[in-house]
Chains A and B, each alone.
Chain A
Amino acid sequence: MSVDARIYRIKKTLGGIKNIIGVVSGKGGVGKTTISAVMSLILSVKGYSVGLLDLDFHGPSCHTILGIKDLEYEEEKGINPYRITKNLYFASIYPFVKDEYVPLRGKALSNALIEFLSILNWRKIDYLIVDMPPGMGDILLDIVRLIPNSKFIAVTTNSVLSIQTVGRLIKFIIDSRLELQGIIANMIRNYDTRARRLAEELSVNFLGSVPFDADYENTIGNPQSILGTKLASALKEIVERHIT
Chain B
Amino acid sequence: MVNAMHEWALAESIIMAVIDLAKRENAKEVVEIELLIGGLQTIDLEIFEFALNELKKETIAKNAKIRFVKQKPKFKCNVCGYEWIVDDLNKVLSEEEIESIHFIPELSHVFMKCPKCGSNDFDIVEGRGVLLKGVRIVK
A residues at B contact (CB < 8 Å): 1, 3-9, 12, 72-79, 93, 96-97, 100-105, 107-109, 111-112, 115-116, 118-119, 121
B17 touching A103, Cβ below 8 Å? no
A78 B16 Cβ-Cβ under 8 A: no
Is B63 engaged at the interface, CB distance under 8 Å to the other chain? no
Excluding A8-B20, A108-B106, A115-B129, 19 further A-B contacts by CB distance (< 8 Å) are A5-B13, A5-B18, A5-B130, A6-B13, A7-B17, A12-B12, A72-B1, A75-B1, A77-B12, A78-B12, A79-B9, A97-B100, A102-B109, A108-B123, A111-B106, A112-B107, A116-B103, A118-B9, A119-B10
A9–B18 alpha-carbon span in the complex (Å): 12
Q: Tell whether B85 is near chain A: CB-to-CB under 8 Å.
A: no
Does residue B14 face the partner (Cβ distance < 8 Å to A)? Answer: yes
Question: Are A9 and B13 neighbours in the complex by a CB distance under 8 Å?
Answer: yes
Q: Are A103's CB and B100's CB within 8 A?
A: no
Contacts of B121 in A (CB 8 A): 103, 105
Q: Given contacts A75-B1, A115-B105, is CB(A103)–CB(B9) below 8 Å?
A: no
- The yes or no answer to B132 lying at the interface (CB within 8 A) is yes
Q: B104–A1 contact, CB under 8 A?
A: no
> Which residues does chain B contribute within 8 Å of A5, judged by CB atoms?
13-14, 16-18, 130, 132
Shortest Cβ gap from A135 to chain B (Å): 20
Contact in complex: A119, B5 (CB < 8 Å): no
B110 proximal to A (CB < 8 A): yes
Count B-side interface residues using an 8 Å CB cutoff.
38
| B9 contacts A9, C-beta separation under 8 Å | yes
Q: List 29 A-B contacts (CB under 8 A).
A: A1-B135, A3-B17, A3-B21, A3-B132, A4-B17, A5-B13, A5-B14, A5-B16, A9-B12, A75-B1, A75-B4, A77-B12, A78-B6, A96-B107, A100-B111, A102-B110, A103-B109, A103-B110, A103-B120, A104-B109, A107-B123, A108-B123, A111-B106, A111-B128, A115-B104, A116-B103, A116-B104, A118-B9, A119-B9
